[in-house]
Amino acid sequence: MIFDMFSTSTKTIYSILVYLGISAVFGFLLFLPNVSEAASYEALLVSQSGSGTLTMEPGETKNVLIEFLNTSDVVWGNDGAGYLSVYTYDPKYRRSDFDPGTWLSPEQVKRIQEASVSSGEKATVLFQLHAPTSEGEYTETFRLASEDTAWVAGGEFTFDINVTSEQRQAQTIVLEKEDTTAEAGPSVSLENDSYKAGLVVQSANRIKALAGRPILFTAAFENIGTKAWSTYGLRENGEVSLAATKMSFAHPSWSGAIAYEAAGRVAPGEKAILSFAFNSPEVNGTHTAVFQLMADGEAVEDALIYIPIEVTGGAEAVIEAEEIVRHDGVRLLDIHEAPQDLRVGVLIVDEETDWEVKITSAQSAFDLFDIEGNILAKLDANQVVTAYYTEGHYYYDIGRGLEVSSYGLRFIPEVENAVMTVTNFDMRVTRNAGLAYNRYRNVLELRHNDYKDRTWLINELPMELYARGTGETSNISPAEFQKALMVTYRTYAYYHYTHGTKRGKEFMHLISTADDQVYFGYDREEAAPRVTDAVDATRGVIVTYDNELAITPYFSRSDGRTRDWSEVWGGDIAWLKGVDVPCDEGKTMWGHGVGMSAQGALCMANEGWGWNELLEYFYTDIELQRWWE
């Protein structure tokens, strides 16, 4: 049974962890009984039988299919601790009139079908609805949940159900008409004409991606024909290509050339949402992926999606890559571009700063642009600009009176990676911190999002400078431990940079708190020079498994052993197997127990373990690769 998580203060626990040089880590990786932590379970509803509208006869039983995209960092499973299933909702745990007796219980419907669903993959739930005998309009709401852990954010869905005996009569009339048409011979060609669709929206018009990386994409088609669809999907169109060289975009989730399949009635005038994955090609250059809409197994004429993709870090770079293995076990590849535009949410602009930001730079003159690339003002070093968002517009004042923009604002130093300061934000005053933590390298951006109706100040900067600003360990912790932690920190950030699923709806990759990774910016870089040394010593090093980017969870302290991924979250991750941690024996576990025990690793570093040895001990059969200089 799902329980409602209760609120508690985490300040004392956080202070203890900072003292130990560990800090709160990765958000979802450190479990605290606070409802905000439940946000690590996030989903996007991508398809639903009937697009949420059903017509049923009294007493009829109907199969319905729901598909969710896992947009969180947690791997979902259908068994073990925290398994995913659907419950009745609004109100929760209610008894539904549509329970056919095949549900897990009157209030718990079904588990997801897949044994393991990683971030960016889809989960399906197939269950039955049994209409009551009383005709009428019904609304049935359900929600996805992680057992004994949390309700899944974005996991709610509703069926509007019309229970009527008129359905059978209407179906009979339609069937008779179709049979008559089928007998007419030549008019059969009109059957294909009844399948028509228009592309309503797609999630991107152009994509820039690293070679061989999975890309998540969503599109919506409207049925503008005369015939309802009972199934629909997408297949790769190998005959239409704008690329100079034909490339494969196949993803492991595909069935042959079929990139997406769904069951559910889409009537004329209704829309179908299709969310699917494909891989960027392995060869550099610009290529175009083309997908064909299918309805009831038929190709819908002119219903195509064209997706131009600019690929970098591909075959040409691999040919020239070094293949030297250093003494510390790192394989030198240098085949990827170091991210220069990692986007980190550093401040929600609210009452803490009186709903505005005041920005300057002591190191550089800087320019004020809007996000469309239009220059709004040029400012000298130490000149202050005040900016805020309200009611659909962005306002700014550089000393010549209040001015307005319809687009988000970007504050860009003329000296690359110069330090920008938010002068009206001081964590010593508002959060009882030891430093102001209000200085950030490179670009700042003021951006409001409708997804959560809030305005963020976003720091855009190179990956390696982001790692220097980490708040995950102290300056005096052992150097080898610091290096191991920096590699996991960088790997985690790079995962979200390449996938873009966790914070994408808010125009960024990560936020600066323990919900993702603690990041304090330039003040931290100045205060912890030994951490900067650890970043520089491991520059570009990523944890991989079978040459693919690996997820590297870690936590505060074990009770003498770490846990398999399957013990905690279900499913199986090859490199996340339990190991003994003698340094932690007899202690109480802090955190989930999967991956690296931070306190155990710190102890082992004091005993002489190297940073690469620590990573290879806690993560089974992984490889350390340097992906950029």
Tens digit of pLDDT for each residue in 451-465? 899 999 999 999 999
Judgement on whether residues 537 and 390 belong to the same structural domain of the protein: no
User: How do residues 576-587 score in pLDDT, each as one tens digit?
Assistant: 999 999 999 999
Q: How many domains, the chain?
A: 4
**54, part of any domain:** yes
**Helix, coil or strand: residue 616:** helix
180 in a structural domain:
no
**107 and 155 housed in the same domain:** yes
pLDDT reported for residue 81: 84
Are 619 and 543 in contact by the 8 Å Cβ rule? The answer is yes
Q: Is residue 144 part of a domain?
A: yes
Alpha-carbon separation of residue 265 from 55, 173, 227, 229 (angstroms):
10, 18, 10, 5
pLDDT digits (tens, 9 = 90+) for 96-149: 989 988 898 888 999 998 888 888 888 888 888 999 989 999 999 999 999 888
Q: Where is the domain boundary, 298, 314, 330?
A: 314
Compute φ and ψ for 516, nearest 5 degrees: -120, -90
Of the CA atoms within 13 Å of residue 626, those in its CB half-sphere come to: 23
Beta bridge partners of 199: 221
Residue 182: inside a domain, yes or no? no
pLDDT of 13:
39
CATH code of the domain containing 132: 2.60.40.10
Burial class (CB in 10 A: 0-12, 13-18, 19+), 420: buried
Helices 611-618, 479-499: axis angle to 10 degrees equals: 60
CA distances from 515 to 4, 158, 280, 388, 512 (A): 19, 29, 29, 25, 8
Q: Please tell me whether residues 623 and 489 are part of one structural domain.
A: yes
Give the span between the Cα atoms of 12 and 557, in whole angstroms.
16
CA distance 497 to 494: 5
What is the rounded average pLDDT for all residues in the chain?
82
Q: Which residues contact 577 (CB under 8 A, 6 or more apart)?
A: 564, 565, 620
Same structural domain for residues 508 and 548?
yes
Q: Kindly tell me if the per-residue pLDDT of 26 is higher than 60.
A: no
Please report the pLDDT score of residue 335 as a whole number: 64
On whether both 24 and 51 belong to a single domain, the answer is no
Does residue 601 sit within a domain? yes
Residue 142 lies in a domain: yes
Q: How confident is the model at residue 220 (pLDDT cuts 50, 70, 90)?
A: confident
Q: Give the C-alpha separation, 476 to 444, whole Å.
A: 30
Last residue of a domain, one of 167, 183, 211: 167
Cα 116–Cα 117–Cα 119 angle in degrees, nearest 5: 140
- Can you give the length of the chain in residues? 629
591 pLDDT above the threshold of 80: yes
Looking at residue 71, the DSSP 8-state letter turns out to be: -
Pairing of strands 623-626, 330-332: parallel
Residues 197 and 308 in one domain: yes
Residue 312's pLDDT is 74
Per-residue model confidence as pLDDT tens digits over 190-217: 334 578 898 877 767 677 777 777 787 8
- Our measurement of the distance from residue 503's CA atom to the centroid of its chain's CA atoms, rounded to an integer in Å, reads 6
Domain closes at, from 456, 484, 508: 456
CB 21 within 8 A of CB 474: yes
488-511 pLDDT tens trace:
999 999 988 887 767 888 999 999
Cα(244)–Cα(394) distance, integer angstroms:
42
Compute the Cα dihedral for 419, 420, 424, 427 and give only its sign. Answer: negative
Torsion angle (degrees, nearest 10) of CA 76, 81, 87, 91: -120
Residue recorded with tokens 């576990």: 589
What is d(CA 47, CA 183) in angstroms, rounded to the nearest whole number? Answer: 35
Average the pLDDT over each of 236-245, 292-301, 375-384 and give the range with the smallest value. 236-245
Question: Is residue 108 domain-shared with residue 131, that is, in the same domain?
Answer: yes
User: Any idea what the Cα angle at residue 27 is, between residues 73 and 425, rounded to 5°?
Assistant: 125
CB atoms within 10 A of CB 315: 15
Report which of 429, 394, 398, 419 is spatially closest to residue 409, judged by C-alpha positions: 394
Of the pLDDT bands very low, low, confident and very high (cuts 50, 70, 90), residue 252 is: confident
Report the Cα–Cα distance between both ends of the chain, in Å, rounded.
49
On whether both 410 and 303 belong to a single domain, the answer is: no
- Is the link from the previous residue into 33 a cis peptide, with omega within 30 of 0? no
Instruction: Give the whole-angstrom CA distance, residue 391 versus residue 490.
Output: 37
Six-digit token pair at 530? 């030994």
Mean pLDDT value across residues 298-312: 82
- Structural domain contains residue 177: no
Q: Which positions ≥6 away from 392 have C-beta within 8 Å?
A: 406
> How confident is the model at residue 185, as a pLDDT?
30
- 613/500 same-domain check: yes
| pLDDT band at residue 251 under the 50/70/90 scheme | confident
The answer to whether the pTM exceeds 0.75 is no
Expressed as residue numbers, the domain containing 160 is 41-167
- Taking the C-alpha atoms of residue 54 and residue 23, their distance in angstroms, rounded to an integer, is 50
With vertex at residue 35, the alpha carbon angle to CA 124 and CA 466, rounded to the nearest 5 degrees, is: 85
The closest alpha carbon to 460, from 503, 495, 421, 411, belongs to 411
**Phi and psi of 32, rounded to 5°?**
-130, 145
CA 142 to chain centre: 22
- What percentage of the chain exceeds 90 in pLDDT? 47
Distance, in Å, from the CA atom of 254 to the CA atom of 262, rounded to the nearest integer, reads 13
Q: What pLDDT shows up at residue 306?
A: 77
What is the 3-state secondary structure of 521-566? CHHHHHHCHHHHHHHHHCCCEEEEECCEECCCCEECECCCECECHH
pLDDT per residue over 362-411, tens digit each?
A: 999 999 999 988 899 999 999 999 999 999 999 999 999 999 999 999 99
552, 423: one domain: no
Position 39 pLDDT exceeds 60 = no
d(CA 424, CA 406): 24
User: In this structure, are 273 and 385 located in the same domain?
Assistant: no
Summarised one tens digit per residue, pLDDT across range 67-105 is 888 888 889 998 888 899 999 998 888 889 899 888 988
Regarding whether 570 and 489 lie in a shared domain, the answer is yes
Q: What are the structure tokens assigned to 132, written together?
A: 């009551």
Give a yes or no: residue 12 inside a domain.
yes
